Amino acid sequence: MSKSTTDSINSVLRVGDKAPDFVLTTEKGKKWRLSEQFGKVTALLFYPKSETLVCNRQMCSVRDNWADYLKAKANVIGISSGTIEELLNFSQRHRLPVTLLADAGREITKIYCKYWLPVQLTRAVVIIDARGIIRQRQIMLRVFRPPDKSILTSIHAARTEFMYEHYHHILNESREKNKHLLQ
């Protein structure tokens, strides 16, 4: 883990913070790095354990609404404490289109889902914009699951905010470049 990642362990991440980088392994055995996803909104769906009632419902609901997630143009990633083999079996059994990451020691979950309750009692949704800034962080008891509509709304909000900031940056550059014409 990098210094910035270990610093994050000691503090609670907040909306507006830079998302700490991390590398985990997918259910297919490939390395996945958060910083390589920048340029596109990323939705991290932390769930406690595969093949449990609420987690099955959550991930199958993502599958059932996958067309809406594709339209949102975001990386949608499930993160669980299971092993690579458990995640692969879970993904295949339920025909999940979403990439699943194995966080067996819950090290990344502890960083992103730090809360007053132990992480094994919670699930979370973290939306990261295209620049790597946390735009939404919702932590809930594991017996609840986030509605897809709420996740999709947060993804769209993160995309819109990024586009708005990008537009203003371009506008300001253009004004600066052409200020002699405006005089």
Residue with tokens 């919670």: 122
Inter-residue contact 65 to 58 (CB < 8 Å): no
The DSSP bridge partners found for residue 31 are 25
Tokens of 131: 């620049």
Tokens of 93: 């059994």
Contacts of residue 39, Cβ cutoff 8 Å, sequence gap at least 6: 130
The active-site residue, picked from 43, 55, 59, 128, is 55
Contacts of residue 104, Cβ cutoff 8 Å, sequence gap at least 6: 81, 82, 83
Q: Is 60 a catalytic residue?
A: no
Q: Any idea what the Cα angle at residue 158 is, between residues 24 and 127, rounded to 5°?
A: 30
Catalytic residues, by residue number, are: 55
